[in-house]
Amino acid sequence: MKRYNNSDINVPQKELPKEDFIFTSKINRSIKTGKMISQRIEVNKLFNEAEVPLIRFPKFKKKAKFWIVISRILWMYGLSTKCESYRATKKRVSSAIKFIDSYLKTNNEIIIVGHGFINHMLKKQLIKNGWQLSLDEGHDYLSKMIFEF
C-alpha cells in the first residue's frame, strides 16, 4: 500500500481536466494528480483514503487485491489494527460532507481528488443527503463523478 500511494501517476496530461482550484488528500498520488490538474491545491485530510487494517493472514498465495478486499470486509465488521476504525471513518465522512456544504455556501463548485473507498463512502452519503449523481464515469485508477443539489 505504501509503494502504491507513493508511486507515479501514469495518466497522459491531455486526459486530465484543467481547474482553477482543487482539494486533495494528503497521499502523494492524490497531490501529484492534483498538481497535474491545477496550480492551486489545498491538502485536506478529510479526503484521505479509508485505511486498510494490517492483518496477519496465513501464507496463502493470493493477489494483493484479494487480501485488501478481505481486510476491508473485516474492517467494516470492527477489526481495525493500526488504522482508523470504520466507525471513525464514517464520522470523518460526515465531517467531509459538512465541509463540502460549508464550502459551497460561498463557492459554485468544489473539486476533490480523492480515493476509491472514501469516494464511495462520500458518494453514498451525498446521495442519502439528496444530491443527484449526474455523471459517474471511469472506475479504474482515474474516475470522475459530478453531483448536483
CA atoms within 13 A on the CB side of 40: 5
Task: Give the global pTM.
Answer: 0.85
> What whole-number distance in Å separates Cα of residue 93 and Cα of residue 3?
25
For 25-55, the pLDDT digits (tens) are: 998 889 988 998 999 999 999 999 998 887 7
Residue 122 has pLDDT above 80, yes or no: yes
Please give the distance of CA 148 from its chain centroid, rounded to a whole number: 19
> What pLDDT does residue 93 have?
97
pLDDT band at 6 (very low <50, low <70, confident <90, very high): low
Q: Which residue has the higher pLDDT, 59 or 6?
A: 59
> What whole-number distance in Å separates Cα of residue 86 and Cα of residue 37?
30
Residue 141 has pLDDT above 80, yes or no: no
Q: Which residues contact 137 (CB under 8 A, 6 or more apart)?
A: 143, 144, 145
Q: Which residue has the higher pLDDT, 77 or 80?
A: 77
Q: What share of the chain is helix, strand, coil (3-state, %, to 5)?
A: 45, 15, 40
> What whole-number distance in Å separates Cα of residue 86 and Cα of residue 98?
19
Residue 134 has pLDDT above 70, yes or no: yes
Closest among 88, 99, 101, 92 to 129, alpha carbons compared: 101
